[in-house]
Homo-oligomer: A and B are copies of this chain.
Amino acid sequence: MREVTPLQEVYNQSAYKLANHGARSVHVLKKAFEEMNGDVAGDLYGTGQIIDDFQDKMAAFLGKENAVFFPSGTMAQQIALRIWCDEKGDKKVAYHPLSHLEIHEEDGLKELHNIETVLLTDRDRVIDLKDVMNMEDGVAAVLLELPQREIGGQLPSFETLEKISQYCSERGIRLHLDGARLLEVLPYYQKSAAEVCALFDSVYLSLYKGIGGIAGAILAGDRDFIKQSKVWKRRYGGDLISLYPYTVPADYYLDLRSSKMEQYFREAKEVAERFNSCYGISTLPEVPVSTMFHVHFQHSKEQVGPLLLQIEQETEIGLTNHLKEINEQSCYFEVHMGDMYSEIPKELVTRAFDLLDKSMKHL
């Protein structure tokens, strides 16, 4: 079992939360099924109206021929890259050094598929056209993550995306979108999901990140690609007899929150500005380009932790439940804006940031 840190404990008990959509409790599932008629038939090995309708809706939303639900993005993305490698006959893909596949999947891509990976750029910046132009030969597919989560949700410009897409397309290199948090970048790009996805051969969208669902992922692409992905889904053991416990909440929370991304984006910029106005605190990026950002402190985790804890106790606002050490002189935490922020009285927000500023000056 994971140990509950003092910061987590105080965060959990806070009346308000700065970020996210609320606790990941069983309530999230119960709410999504509350209004649903129990007589509705469950899906059966990926078939049935309850899953077909949802997948069709997602395909249309992403502007792709077909879409299929996967239990996880890990599974969906490895499979997408494997299909593109098989198509080209080259077992090599390229992505950011902080890609989910590189740092969070126990090397599944390499261990299960023997796929070689090319790291396209430095850890602290987003992929640019020249990174793709300068990459070694034999790459079957390039994966772009929008936003680049591990560096605060930064983004290339839409123009850069278009250029990378064109470059790859002309050279027969497949372009895959790690769009786990795709919805969260649409307000910045001022594009529809389909307009962004049109630049990519295959697309993965998370069904919990950003929208506050329970788990799951959508993989979308052309008919033949999705057909192949279903064979691999079975090989992986992802073709569960019934997936509706995830697809129904996904559908529910997508409907509830996909139209609120503009609000979260606006609030992300507002909250980031508040953090940046505090002594010794800066956000990455300085001005958010999605609904997320990182909050950096030029002090150790051991110094910042108790300070945040005290502010949370005094103001009843849970600012964060985690703090990550960068080195002995710095640490950061991640912020994803959600439904919780607008519930906090504005004067309380102001008070919390005043306190934060003052406390930082005394550190």
When A107-B235, A240-B71 are in contact, do A26 and B37 touch as well, CB less than 8 Å?
yes
A161 at the interface (CB under 8 A from B): no
Which of chain B's residues have a CB closer than 8 A to the CB of A37?
26
A74 at the interface (CB under 8 A from B): yes
**Interface residues of A, Cβ cutoff 8 Å to B:** 1-2, 23-31, 33, 36-42, 44, 47-50, 52, 70-76, 78, 105-108, 111-113, 208, 214-216, 231-232, 234-246, 248-249
Which of chain B's residues have a CB closer than 8 A to the CB of A31?
38
Q: Is the CB of B236 within 8 A of A2?
A: no
Which of chain B's residues have a CB closer than 8 A to the CB of A25?
38-42
Which of chain B's residues have a CB closer than 8 A to the CB of A42?
24-26, 28-29, 214
Tell me the complex Cα distance, A143–B85, Å: 32
Q: Which of B41, B76, B208 contacts A241, CB < 8 Å?
A: B208
Q: Is the CB of B2 within 8 A of A237?
A: no
Which of chain B's residues have a CB closer than 8 A to the CB of A33?
26, 29-30, 33
When A1-B52, A70-B237 are in contact, do A245 and B214 touch as well, CB less than 8 Å?
yes
Beyond A75-B237, A108-B236: 17 further Cβ-contacts under 8 Å?
Answer: A1-B49, A2-B47, A2-B48, A24-B42, A26-B36, A26-B37, A28-B42, A74-B236, A74-B239, A75-B236, A76-B237, A214-B241, A214-B245, A215-B242, A215-B243, A237-B238, A245-B246
Tell me the complex Cα distance, A47–B4, Å: 11
Q: Which of B72, B238, B243, B244 contacts A26, CB < 8 Å?
A: B244
Q: Is the CB of A108 within 8 A of B234?
A: yes
When A33-B29, A41-B23, A42-B25 are in contact, do A1 and B235 touch as well, CB less than 8 Å?
no
Q: Which of B50, B74, B235 contacts A108, CB < 8 Å?
A: B235
30 contacts between A and B (CB under 8 A): A1-B48, A2-B44, A2-B47, A23-B39, A23-B41, A24-B242, A25-B42, A26-B37, A26-B39, A26-B40, A26-B244, A26-B248, A27-B39, A29-B42, A29-B245, A30-B33, A33-B33, A70-B237, A71-B240, A72-B237, A75-B238, A106-B235, A108-B234, A108-B235, A112-B236, A208-B241, A215-B242, A236-B236, A238-B238, A245-B246
Residue of B nearest to A79 (CB): B237
Residue of B nearest to A72 (CB): B237
Which of A1, A42, A232, A248 lies at the interface centre, i.e. has the most chain B CB atoms within 10 A of its CB? A42
When A49-B1, A245-B245, A246-B245 are in contact, do A73 and B26 touch as well, CB less than 8 Å?
no
Q: Is the CB of A105 within 8 A of B237?
A: yes
When A108-B234, A231-B106 are in contact, do A72 and B240 touch as well, CB less than 8 Å?
yes
Tell me the complex Cα distance, A239–B112, Å: 16
Tell me the complex Cα distance, A36–B27, Å: 9
Q: Is the CB of B105 within 8 A of A234?
A: yes
Q: Is the CB of A237 within 8 A of B236?
A: yes
Q: Which of B38, B73, B108, B246 contacts A27, CB < 8 Å?
A: B38
Residue of B nearest to A236 (CB): B236
Closest chain-B Cβ to A324's Cβ sits at a distance in Å of 16
Closest chain-B Cβ to A149's Cβ sits at a distance in Å of 14
When A48-B2, A108-B237 are in contact, do A71 and B74 touch as well, CB less than 8 Å?
no
